[in-house]
Amino acid sequence: MGSSRPQSPKTGLPIGKEHRDPSSYKVKTSEQPTEEKL
């Protein structure tokens, strides 16, 4: 936790944005369903 958000090693995008962007979220879920929990 901190001012700098943790970036996913795959896309390199901020985790906060992944949840907001449905298109990116879909790609991540299809690749790795485990990310769905995060």
Give the span between the Cα atoms of 24 and 12, in whole angstroms: 11
CB atoms within 10 A of CB 37: 5
pLDDT for 1-38, tens place per residue?
Answer: 555 666 556 666 555 655 555 565 555 555 555 555 55
Task: Give me the residue label for tokens 């991540």.
Answer: 28
Q: Is the pTM of this model over 0.85?
A: no
